[in-house]
């Protein structure tokens, strides 16, 4: 993937059911998503249409991502059951829903998120599980050698029985975190 248009085309294929299981997608350049209220990012991978391959960021930056929605599973990737590595993401997520993160909203299966760096500022009024790298990871998933440098804000649920989890690296972790650090508030 070398351009914004190619990244959007890849996203659309995943969101229409292509899992990319057993395949590696390599980023060839930094990509500017040019995000704003009129040009919002739709995450790669949705419920029942998750990304299962390897996304190799090749130490490039995907910058200026912008998302403004209370829908769940927000981030560059919404739902992943694969591997995301060597990638930096910048931008803003406002009004994030449940399980939202700068890089990944929700990581299932034996997902590995490795050497990823978040600079996406996230704000959520009622979302649960909000984190810089990922909103939520399951027991077999791992976050390795990742950093968060952005501010992450989650105000919490106003009712009901759900607790709000928020953190620089991860909102809610049932998996494993190794060698990561956070400098954001």
Tens of pLDDT along 145-184?
999 999 999 987 666 667 889 999 999 999 999 999 999 9
Q: What is the pTM of this model?
A: 0.96
pLDDT at residue 159, rounded to an integer: 62
Q: What is the pLDDT of residue 164?
A: 87
Summarised one tens digit per residue, pLDDT across range 115-145 is 999 999 999 998 899 999 999 999 999 999 9
Q: Which residues contact 35 (CB under 8 A, 6 or more apart)?
A: 41, 64, 65, 66, 67, 91, 92
- For the stretch 25-62, what's the b/e string if a residue is b when 16 or more beta carbons lie within 10 angstroms of its beta carbon? bebeeebebebeeeeebebbbbeebbbbbbbbbeebbb
Reported as a single tens digit per residue, the pLDDT across 21-80 is 999 999 999 999 999 999 999 999 998 999 999 999 999 999 999 999 999 999 999 999
């Amino acid at each position: 993937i070398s351009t914004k248009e190619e990244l959007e085309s890849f996203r659309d294929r995943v969101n229409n059911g292509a899992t990319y299981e057993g395949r590696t997608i390599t980023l060839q350049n930094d990509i500017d998503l040019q995000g704003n209220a009129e040009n919002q990012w739709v995450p790669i991978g949705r419920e029942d249409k998750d990304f299962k391959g390897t996304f190799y960021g090749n130490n490039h930056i995907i910058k200026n991502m912008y998302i403004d929605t209370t829908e769940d599973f927000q981030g560059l990737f919404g739902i992943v059951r694969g591997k995301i590595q060597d990638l930096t993401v910048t931008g803003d997520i406002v009004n994030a829903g449940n399980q939202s993160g700068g890089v990944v909203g929700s990581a299932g299966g034996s997902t590995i998120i490795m050497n990823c760096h978040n600079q996406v500022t996230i704000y959520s009024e009622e979302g649960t599980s909000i984190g810089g790298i990922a909103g939520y990871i399951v027991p077999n998933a791992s976050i390795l050698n990742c950093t968060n440098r952005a501010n992450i804000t989650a105000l919490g649920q106003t009712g009901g029985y759900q607790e709000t989890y928020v953190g620089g690296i991860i909102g809610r972790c049932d998996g494993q975190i190794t060698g990561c650090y956070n400098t954001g508030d």
